[in-house]
Structure 1
Amino acid sequence: MTRVIGIDPGLRNLGWGVIELSGSRIAHVANGVCVSVGTELSDRLLSLHEQLTAVVLKFAPDEAAVEQTFVNKDGAGTLKLGQARGIAMLVPAQAGLRVGEYAPNKIKKTVVGVGHADKGQVLHMVRLQLPGAEIKSPDAADALAIAICHAHHGGAAGLGAAIAKATA
């Protein structure tokens, strides 16, 4: 069995979702959101680091996956998101995990079938793929989608190998 944590970086709300892979089966373990605390950027980043570290310690994933940052017109906003993404990359690396990175369109195409799906469509498809899971927020749904994408694209040995074997 392989346990994967998906992380959706955000400076205010950093979504996380943990799944387990057993052969070609995906099962929900947990999901949630780390909400930054403080007014100073350094305090907010520290709070995200502490919260995400606690999640990684509690759920002990074997691998991690993080959404790549897209650049938009707001340079300052992109830079701040990049700093939150740094926390999302650092925490799993500190735990000795390999970290996969996926573009937003690849995640959506993998989970929904369309690269420009909206958050509602992602949430709907994550619920279908993880029946019975109580998904805490759209950020947590995005994080679960990132973990599912990682599983499907060979990042997690179990599902990638099972899919390759089944299609051979």
Structure 2
Amino acid sequence: MITRILGIDPGLRITGFGVLDKQGQQLSYVASGCIKTPDGELPERLKVILLSLGEVIALHQPQQVAVEKVFVNVNPQSTLLLGQARGAAICAAVSAHLPVAEYTALQVKQSVVGNGHAAKEQVQEMVKRLLNLSGTPSPDAADALACAICHAHGGMGLGGLATKGFRVKGGRLI
């Protein structure tokens, strides 16, 4: 049985998306890209994210959605804006009656790279290798694909290893 997963890396300027198929432990690339919002008023930008992700969902028909959680930024205003972009992304998924899973950046990087504090370039390279891509995806698309990979691997990767009762320290399970 094939499960199609949509990964979303929300951002107010650029929202990355990545679609992959999971069959058993095998992952296959389907599509990825970026939704760029125009400068302007916040409601209009959120509308672009909502409608564009709705189009991605209609086109690729995912069965599950994985979204990266908001991290608390130094600038509270930036964190609030990112949260609103994330809300628009989640609304696009739930409007299509899709289940949404949420993962921290630490979980995503741990799952894909094996280090929760990996650099963006490391994430891009590992996504390229794991999905056997001919080229390197953009940072936002790579983050979205990484989120989908994390979800496909059960949240922390590790090949379905039970992670209950463990905690993460320094990007490692202890």
The answer as to whether partners of 1:33 and 1:136 remain within 8 angstroms in 2 is no
The answer as to whether partners of 1:110 and 1:149 remain within 8 angstroms in 2 is yes
Following TM superposition, the consecutive aligned residue runs of length 4 or more in structure 1 with deviations greater than 6 angstroms are: none
Gaps of 5+ in 1: none
Spell out, residue by residue over 1:85-114, the C-alpha distance to the aligned partner (whole angstroms, 9 max, x if none): 001111111111100000100100010000
The answer as to whether partners of 2:63 and 2:98 remain within 8 angstroms in 1 is yes
How far is the alpha carbon of 1:28 from its aligned partner? 0.2
The answer as to whether partners of 1:92 and 1:99 remain within 8 angstroms in 2 is yes
Distance 1:134 1:53 in 2: 26
Cα RMSD (Å)? 1.9
Q: TM-score normalised to the size of structure 2? A: 0.87
In structure 2, what residue type is equivalent to 1:84?
Answer: A
Q: TM-score normalised to the size of structure 1? A: 0.90
* Cross-structure match for 1:152: 153
Gaps of 5+ in 2: 162-174
1:127–1:45 distance in 2 versus 1, CA, 3 Å: same
Are 1:93 and 2:94 an aligned pair? yes
Distance 2:108 2:74 in 1: 22
Higher helix share: 1
Superposition pairs of residues 18-167 of structure 1, within 5 angstroms: 18-132=19-133, 134-153=135-154, 163=160
* Cross-structure match for 2:168: none
How far is the alpha carbon of 1:38 from its aligned partner? 4.3
Are 1:16 and 2:46 an aligned pair? no
Are 1:6 and 2:7 an aligned pair? yes
Q: What is the SS of the residue equivalent to 1:117?
A: coil
Task: Calculate percent identity across the aligned residue pairs.
Answer: 45
Q: What is the SS of the residue equivalent to 1:30?
A: strand
Deviates more, 1:30-39 or 1:106-115: 30-39
Q: What is the SS of the residue equivalent to 1:86?
A: helix
Distance 1:30 1:135 in 2: 13
Distance 2:126 2:136 in 1: 12
In structure 2, what residue type is equivalent to 1:122?
Answer: V
